Homo-oligomer: A and B are copies of this chain.
Amino acid sequence: MLKMNKQIILKSRPEGKPSLKNFEIQEIDNAQNGEIILETKFISVDPYLRGRMRDEKSYIEPFEVGKPLESMVVSEVTDSSNEDFKKGDHVIGMLDWKKQQSHSGKDLRKIDPSIAPLSAYLGVLGLTGLTAYLALDKIGKLEKGETLLVSGAAGAVGSVVGQIGKIKGCHVVGIAGSDEKIDHIQGKFGFDAGINYKTTQNMKKAISEACPDGVDVYFDNVGGEILDAALQNINKAARIINCGAISIYNETEVPTGPRSEGILIKKSALMQGFLVRDHIEDYQKAISDLAGWLKSGELKYDETVVEGFDQTPQAFIDIFDGKNLGKMVVKA
């Protein structure tokens, strides 16, 4: 039988920034045995995959050298003996980087291309959109008229956070790292105001000016000094969502900063860490709301689509040079 199928394996573990030599594209046999045969449509490439390329155990197993990589993938069912899936269905799941693969159906989720483009299920209807929606729902508990501040505002999570804030009737202020990003979140995503932290001397004052009624909810994707400045502007009963702390991820020692317990007591405020995987039981409701807002045009998103299965390693590498705007996906 002809080898018509392909897979991408981890050839070697990267040191520092990944490069093409860490990957190998191999021709393999077509998938034949298995309850379900899947044909890959879109592959998600994400920064967190870099962590799995290290030989270190985390909340998820590391990739093995010589074995195919995996990530969230949207596929079409081309054959099925599983009664839950039929030919022509579209599904999403944690799948191998293969053009074609067999599957048991376990943990595969059907998706509806009539609701949103297939690639959206890897971004705004995937983990980034779910993170924005569920963290606001579980911790933020936005009330109409409140002020929502979000850092990493031009990112895949932050841009959805801000738009949900507007849908809920809040005053929404975003923090990002360039004037272009600030223009973009105000122009495309409808933020009320933006702060370029790279050109702002006094973040405490800038937040105070952009949030004249104080901050009720701070959605933090960065941690560190921007979190400190936000804390100095919170209102009574404020909610701080600790979703990411990219500013301190690369530190080897736990960094120090102003203690937060004093302000939390004074303001009866809360800070809470959020991990979307803790809330799988709420995914369907969240996707349904997000999809509704997409259809109505209230929710927009950025996406960078790279064409061609073989381009997957390069697309992954390009994330680290910021060549993507919004979610980076590969069209296989």
Contact = CB atoms under 8 A, between A and B. Distances in A.
B273 A270 contact: yes
B259 A256 contact: yes
A264 B273 contact: yes
Given A220-B261, A254-B259, A270-B270, 5 more contacts: A245-B259, A260-B271, A263-B273, A264-B272, A264-B273
Nearest to A279: B268
A268 B275 contact: yes
Interface residues of A, number: 33
Contacts of A273: 261, 263-270
B262 A223 contact: yes
Contacts of A254: 258-259, 262
A271 B274 contact: no
A244 interface: yes
A107 interface: no
A244 B265 CA distance: 7
A262 B224 CA distance: 10
Nearest to A253: B258
Contacts of A256: 256-259
Contacts of A259: 223-224, 245, 248, 254-257
A149 to B, nearest CB: 15
A8 B265 CA distance: 32
Contacts of A244: 265
Q: In the assembly, how many copies of this chain are there?
A: 2
Contact of A248 (B237, B261, B269): B261
Task: From A243, A260, A273, A274, name the one whose CB has the most chain B CB atoms within 10 angstroms.
Answer: A273
10 contacts: A224-B259, A224-B261, A227-B261, A242-B265, A248-B262, A256-B259, A265-B274, A268-B275, A268-B278, A270-B270
Interface string A226-252: 010000000001000011110010000
Contacts of A243: 265
Contacts of A255: 258-259
A244 B259 CA distance: 13
A273 B260 CA distance: 10
A264 B258 contact: no
Contact of A242 (B248, B261, B278): B261
Contact of A272 (B220, B242, B270): B270
A102 to B, nearest CB: 35
Contact of A271 (B258, B264, B267, B275): B264
Nearest to A274: B268
Interface string A206-235: 000000000000001001100100000000
A59 to B, nearest CB: 9
Contacts of A274: 265, 268
B271 A245 contact: no
Contact of A261 (B245, B262, B263, B269): B245
Contacts of A223: 259, 261-262
Contacts of A268: 272-275, 278
